[in-house]
Amino acid sequence: MPPRPQAVAEQYARALLDVLHSRPERERSRVEEEVGALAGALREAPLLRSFLGSPVVEAEAKRKALARACPDAEQVTQRLIEVLLKRGRADLLPEIQAAYERLRDEQQGILVAEVSSAVPLGREAQERCAEALRRSSGRQVRLTPSVDPALIGGVRTRIGSQVFDGSVRARLDLLRRRLVGE
């Protein structure tokens, strides 16, 4: 049974984290930006992702396409791309980037909180939410906001497997269960 793409992505992410650990902050930031930009391009362009994942397309054609996309990339970024192309894994770059960010945040003790609201939260509301989570957890917090109109109002926060649901939808569901006697 072949390894799951997520497990493979995590292995590459761990290796990237190890390589970048001893690099200067400026280089580390630049590599993170480059990998993020490439991963974003693959997320938004399914044809590019198919092209990179296709066993029919020669590795040299894939290398040239990626070299055109990031001609002035840091050596670490170029090496990562080379390794991924050589092993036929370049299409996993979005998963690798997501795993890298998760592992980096974990290593730095940053708590990642997914905050869903019925309408987009403004900058000030996001800052208040992050500050409240920081105070209650005692850790630095990175918010990942999303919009879910089904919530009607309020927010739902997910931190790992814990969910704190302060949405109007959750309150209405609770009221309905009490009235019905569930």
User: What pLDDT, on the 0 to 100 scale, is given for residue 70?
Assistant: 77
Q: What is the pLDDT along the chain (182 residues), one digit of tens a residue?
A: 667 888 899 999 999 999 999 899 999 999 999 999 989 988 898 888 888 888 888 888 888 887 777 778 899 998 998 899 888 888 899 999 999 999 999 899 899 999 999 899 999 999 999 999 899 888 999 999 999 998 888 889 998 888 888 888 888 888 888 888 76
Q: How many Cβ atoms from other residues are within 10 Å of residue 166's Cβ?
A: 13
- Domains detected in the chain: 5-105 (1.10.520.20), 109-180 (no CATH)
Most distant pair of Cα atoms in the chain: their distance:
66
Identify the helix (H) or strand (E) that includes residue 118. Answer: none
Q: How many Cβ atoms from other residues are within 10 Å of residue 174's Cβ?
A: 12
- For 123-147, the DSSP string reads HHHHHHHHHHHHHHHSS-EEEEEEE
Output DSSP code: residue 4: P
User: What pLDDT, on the 0 to 100 scale, is given for residue 175?
Assistant: 87
User: What pLDDT, on the 0 to 100 scale, is given for residue 164?
Assistant: 87
Residue 99 vs residues 11, 59, 65, 95, 96: alpha-carbon distances, Å: 9, 24, 24, 6, 5
Output DSSP code: residue 106: H
CA angle 89, 23, 100 (to 5 degrees): 40
User: What is the amino acid identity at position 101?
Assistant: E
User: What pLDDT, on the 0 to 100 scale, is given for residue 103?
Assistant: 93
